[in-house]
């Protein structure tokens, strides 16, 4: 929901980033306020996933320019764990398996790290069990998954549910969901999206990264951004996603080509 | 199966570097106790063997045992088959007997023990005095070559349990020593066992009489204090028919930039329906990050399931020593006897470990389990070496072995050398092995949920070791978990 006077949670200004000396982000600008749901769309290689990894602090991605403020604080100066503790959450496209580490224990340690940061008391094993069983409802997850190792042997859909369960426990202010819809059948998609909708409030914001309209059929965005060649090329309302669905991404190439020409100082085609 | 050194990618964020820093952490037991010590001259010959025996006023059979061992040792070559590299040990440059002055004669009662010694053990977390001693564990404290105190001796005696230093056992129960000494690890068993048999100075003796479940855990704590002395202790545990005991062993040493030799022998005997659980947390000084100093740990540990349905279980957490050469084994002689080996070996910097187990199935329907977890960091090398042998009479015997290696960083090595010999077609042997490394993506995943870098590594390492930690007695399991976390603690870059 778009609210007047809502708190500015995230402010990205002219962000540049590289992986292995390959520039991927080339000047991203984005502002997200509390209560809003944003969707970033674009083709493979457009930089959408990189944007999510950079915001979460993945060590393989190097920021080479620009700034990111989270509630006025320099997010890029913080280690990944601190970003999580102050309320930035990344839902992974491919959650890794961590053999030997109990899912329940992992969820408890993570939840407590966030609680401590918020000045709340740590939960002991018993109170945490109560909380986690309540939050399991959000994603209709079988409690048996708590007793297993983190993501080990989970199906694609179970892994994604486990991601949303973590989100439900950590109660982030900004949830970045990277291709959460990939690999989900229609029922799983409904459950996961239902969870996301359930968790969205006027105090937090969601940034969806996706290829497809089908996720946006179940989670309605306030803003849609189209990303290409490491920048946000165009921003609109939910109708922009529908337009993409109908027209495909070809027009994006055309627009990019036009901009390139313009940048080189030559008049763009069709401009007198 | 040999796992090549595996790389953690050298990420721009410097994760590999910080992983390296993480496993480097100062040794907390490296202090030296300033105490007057009586030492004999360096070097080893027959006179030294006789001198040690004379100092202990030993009966003739024991001097004979030592001399036979020494003469055999002189004919042996130091073994070189292990995946270990170290300069040749100069056996003439070692002191073979060192004892705190006050302890020279008969062992004093606790009130008479030098306060400096009590203080040392208290600093190590092993308070010995009446008021402070651990409530549920009886402790034998060994300092350099001698035992300085044993707690709860009298209380255990009420149940007929004998728990005392080896020296006392020789004085008070020579017939038991004569009956059992060298029957599991003969004095000519191997180079280091022969050396130990010739010069061993003290250690612990345990006898649990028929039908008695030992009312508390027993423990020996070994402390090396002198920089030029070797420690050669001997432990002998006998569980008679239907008896059971849980025994714990701990060890630390000061930081010297020279190497000290530790060559121990442990013998376990389990008669019909007896059960012995032997747990070790080994934290000898490991040397510095360049491999200077540290203990050379050459240990022979073997248990004999002599009786039917007897049970011997080894659990070890090996985190220290510059060199570890150690293969706690079980000879499964009695029908339906059970042997177990659970091991976590962590090596870092230039540490080298060649460790594993031998399960020798002699009797019918004997069963054994081996679970080994090796963690190698820094430039260390960590090898599992194990033998499973099925003798001709081991009808229906079964073994299961699982050997997992975890690599941290791109300079460490992990090897697995399983040896299998079977002379019995109706015996089943299973072996599983795996190698993994802590990946940057796993660490990032945990971090991105608010879990700090160090805690993330420690969570993954203890997750990896869980199967083994579950086997440790409760108070030890917590200690082992802490110890690994400690070893993995450090500055996060």
pLDDT tens track for B48-75: 999 999 998 999 999 999 999 999 999 9
A114 and B453 within 8 Å at the Cβ level: the answer is no
Which residue in chain B has the smallest CA separation from A85?
B450
pLDDT for the residue numbered B103:
55
CB B356 within 8 A of CB B386: yes
Q: Looking at domain A8-263, which of 3.40.50.2000, 3.30.300.30, 3.40.50.300, 3.30.365.10 is its CATH number?
A: 3.40.50.300
pLDDT tens per residue across span B323-337: 999 999 999 999 999
CA distance A239 to chain B (A): 33
Confidence of residue A127 (pLDDT cuts 50, 70, 90): very high
Domain-located, residue B493:
no
Contact B460 A100 (CB under 8 A): yes
> What pLDDT score was predicted for residue B183?
97
What Å distances lie between residue B104 and B60, B98, B129, CA to CA?
A: 21, 9, 21
Nearest CA-CA distance, residue A78 and chain B, Å: 11
Query: Domain range for residue B454?
Result: 2-487
Report CB contact under 8 Å: A58, B463: no
Please name the member of B442, B450, B455 whose beta carbon is closest to the beta carbon of A114.
B450
Q: Distance from B19 to chain A by nearest Cα, in Å?
A: 13
Banded model confidence at residue B212, pLDDT cuts 50, 70, 90? very high
- Least Cα separation, residue A42 to chain B (angstroms): 24
3-state secondary structure (DSSP) of residue B41: coil
Of A42 and A252, the one with more pLDDT: A42
The structure tokens 């819809």 sit at: A181
Collapse the DSSP code of B46 into the 3-class scheme (helix H, G, I; strand E, B; otherwise coil) and give the result.
helix
- Chain B residues in contact with A89 by the CB 8 A cut-off are 448
For A96, the closest of B12, B445, B464 (CB atoms) is B445
When the pLDDT of each residue in chain A is averaged and rounded to a whole number, the result is 91
Degrees, nearest 5: CA angle A142-A172-A155: 30
Q: What is the mean pLDDT of residues A68-89?
A: 97
Domain boundaries of chain A, sorted by first residue: 8-263
Does B492 fall in a domain? no
Helix (H, G, I), strand (E, B) or coil at B277: strand
- CB-based contact B12 A80, cutoff 8 Å: no
CB-nearest partner of B450 from A96, A100, A110 = A110
Asked if residues B117 and B197 have their Cβ atoms less than 8 Å apart, the reply is no
Give the ipTM.
0.94
Please, which residues have CB within 8 angstroms of residue B163's CB and are 6 or more apart in sequence? B138, B140, B150, B152, B153, B156, B204, B205, B206, B218
Nearest CA in chain A to B16: A59
Domain count, chain B: 1
Given CB atoms, is B439 within the 8 Å cutoff of chain A? Answer: yes
Q: What is the pLDDT of residue A160?
A: 93
H or E element that contains B166: helix B166-172
Q: Give the pLDDT score at B107.
A: 55
Give the alpha-carbon dihedral of B8, B13, B15, B21, to 10 degrees. Answer: 130
Q: Which of B9, B432, B440, B448 to mutate to test the interface with A (most CBs of A within 10 A)?
A: B448
Q: What pLDDT is recorded for position B25?
A: 53
* pLDDT, greater one: B227 or A37: A37
Task: Report the residue from A62, A81, A96 with minimal CB separation from B452.
Answer: A81
CA distances from A54 to A46, A67, A77, A167, B341 (A): 14, 11, 12, 19, 46
Whether A90 and B447 lie within 8 Å, measured CB to CB: no
CB pairs under 8 A between A and B: 91
Residue B485, pLDDT score: 65
Q: Is the pLDDT confidence value at A21 over 70? A: yes
Chain A positions in Cβ-Cβ contact with residue B455 (cut-off 8 Å): 109
CB atoms under 10 Å from CB of B42, counted, come to 15
Cα distance from A7 to chain B (closest Cα, Å)?
A: 23
- Using CA coordinates, name the residue in chain B closest to A112: B450
Closest chain B residue to the Cα of A18, Cα to Cα? B12
User: How does pLDDT run across B115-165, given as a tens digit for each residue?
Assistant: 888 888 787 777 777 777 776 778 888 887 778 788 888 889 999 999 999
- Which residue in B has a C-alpha nearest to residue A93's C-alpha? B445
Cα–Cα distance, A70 to A72 (Å, whole number): 5
Contact (Cβ atoms closer than 8 angstroms) between residue B375 and residue B355: no
Residue appearing with tokens 């080509």: A257
Q: How confident is the model at residue B14 (pLDDT cuts 50, 70, 90)?
A: very low
Question: Which member of A80, A90, A99 has the closest CB to residue B463?
Answer: A99
Residues in chain A closer than 8 A to B462 (CB atoms): 100
CA B227, CA B48: separation in Å to the nearest integer? 19
Query: Positive or negative, the Cα torsion across A108, A49, A58, A17?
Result: negative
Mean pLDDT on A131-149 = 93
């Amino acid at each position: 929901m778009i609210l007047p006077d809502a708190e500015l949670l995230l402010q990205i200004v002219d962000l540049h980033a590289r992986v292995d000396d390959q520039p991927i982000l080339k000047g991203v600008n984005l502002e997200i306020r509390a209560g809003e749901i944003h969707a970033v769309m674009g083709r493979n290689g457009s930089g959408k996933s990189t944007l999510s990894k950079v915001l979460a602090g993945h060590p393989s991605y190097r920021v080479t320019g620009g700034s990111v403020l989270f509630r006025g604080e320099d997010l890029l100066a913080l280690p990944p764990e601190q970003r999580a503790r102050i309320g930035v959450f990344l839902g992974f496209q491919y959650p890794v398996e961590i053999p030997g580490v109990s899912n329940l224990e992992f969820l408890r340690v993570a939840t407590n790290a966030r609680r401590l940061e918020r000045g709340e008391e740590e939960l002991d094993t018993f109170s945490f069990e109560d909380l986690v069983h309540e939050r399991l409802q959000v994603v209709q997850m079988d409690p048996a998954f708590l007793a297993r190792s983190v993501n080990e042997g989970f199906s694609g859909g179970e892994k994604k549910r486990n991601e949303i369960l973590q989100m439900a426990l950590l109660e982030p202010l900004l949830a970045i969901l990277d291709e959460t819809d990939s690999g989900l059948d229609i029922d799983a998609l409904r459950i996961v999206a239902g969870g996301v909708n359930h968790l969205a409030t006027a105090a937090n914001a969601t940034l969806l990264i996706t290829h497809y309209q089908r996720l946006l059929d179940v989670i309605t965005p306030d803003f849609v951004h189209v990303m290409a060649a490491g920048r946000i090329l165009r921003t609109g309302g939910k109708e922009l996603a529908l337009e993409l669905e109908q027209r495909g991404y070809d027009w994006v190439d055309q627009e990019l080509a036009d901009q390139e020409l313009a940048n080189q100082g030559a008049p763009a085609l069709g401009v007198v | 199966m040999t796992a090549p050194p595996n790389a953690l990618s050298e990420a721009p964020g410097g994760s590999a570097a910080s992983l390296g820093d993480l496993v480097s952490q100062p040794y907390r037991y490296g202090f030296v106790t300033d105490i007057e010590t009586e030492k004999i001259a360096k070097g080893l010959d027959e006179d030294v063997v006789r001198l040690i025996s004379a100092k202990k006023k030993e009966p003739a059979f024991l001097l004979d045992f030592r001399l036979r061992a020494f003469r055999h040792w002189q004919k042996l070559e130091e073994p070189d088959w292990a995946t270990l590299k170290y300069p040749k040990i100069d056996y003439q440059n070692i002191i073979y007997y060192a004892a705190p002055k006050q302890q020279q004669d008969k062992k004093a009662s606790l009130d008479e023990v030098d306060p400096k010694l009590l203080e040392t053990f208290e600093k190590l977390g092993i308070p010995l005095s009446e008021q402070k001693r651990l409530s549920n564990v009886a402790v034998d404290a060994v300092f350099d070559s001698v035992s300085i105190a044993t707690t709860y001796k009298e209380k255990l005696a009420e149940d007929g349990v004998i728990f005392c230093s080896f020296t006392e056992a020789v004085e008070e129960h020579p017939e038991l020593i004569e009956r059992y000494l060298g029957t599991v690890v003969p004095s000519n068993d191997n180079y280091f066992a022969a050396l130990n048999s010739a010069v061993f100075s003290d250690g612990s003796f345990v006898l649990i009489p028929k039908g008695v479940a030992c009312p508390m855990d027993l423990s020996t704590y070994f402390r090396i204090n002198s920089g030029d002395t070797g420690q050669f202790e001997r432990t002998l545990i006998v569980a008679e028919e239907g008896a059971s005991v849980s025994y714990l062993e701990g060890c630390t040493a000061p930081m010297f930039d020279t190497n000290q030799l530790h060559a121990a022998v442990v013998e376990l005997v389990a008669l019909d329906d007896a059960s012995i659980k032997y747990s070790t947390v080994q934290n000898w000084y490991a040397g510095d990050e360049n491999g200077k100093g540290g203990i050379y740990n050459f240990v022979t540990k073997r248990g004999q399931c002599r009786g039917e349905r007897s049970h011997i279980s080894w659990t070890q957490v090996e985190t220290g020593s510059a060199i570890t050469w150690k293969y706690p084994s079980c000879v499964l002689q009695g029908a339906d006897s059970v042997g177990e080996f659970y091991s976590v070996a962590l090596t870092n910097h230039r540490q080298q470990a060649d460790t594993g187990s031998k399960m020798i199935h002699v009797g019918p329907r004997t069963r054994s389990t081996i679970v080994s977890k090796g963690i190698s960091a820094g430039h260390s090398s960590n090898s599992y070496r194990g033998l499973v042998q099925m003798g001709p009479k081991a009808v229906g015997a079964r073994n299961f072995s699982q050997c997992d290696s975890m690599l941290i960083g791109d300079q460490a090595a992990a090897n697995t050398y399983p040896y299998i010999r079977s002379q019995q077609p109706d015996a089943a042997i299973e072996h599983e092995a795996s190698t993994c490394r802590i990946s940057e993506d796993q660490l990032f995943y945990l971090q991105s949920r608010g879990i700090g870098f160090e805690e993330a590594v420690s969570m993954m390492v203890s997750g990896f070791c869980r199967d083994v930690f579950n086997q440790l007695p409760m108070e030890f399991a917590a200690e082992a978990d802490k110890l690994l976390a400690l070893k993995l603690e450090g500055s996060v870059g």
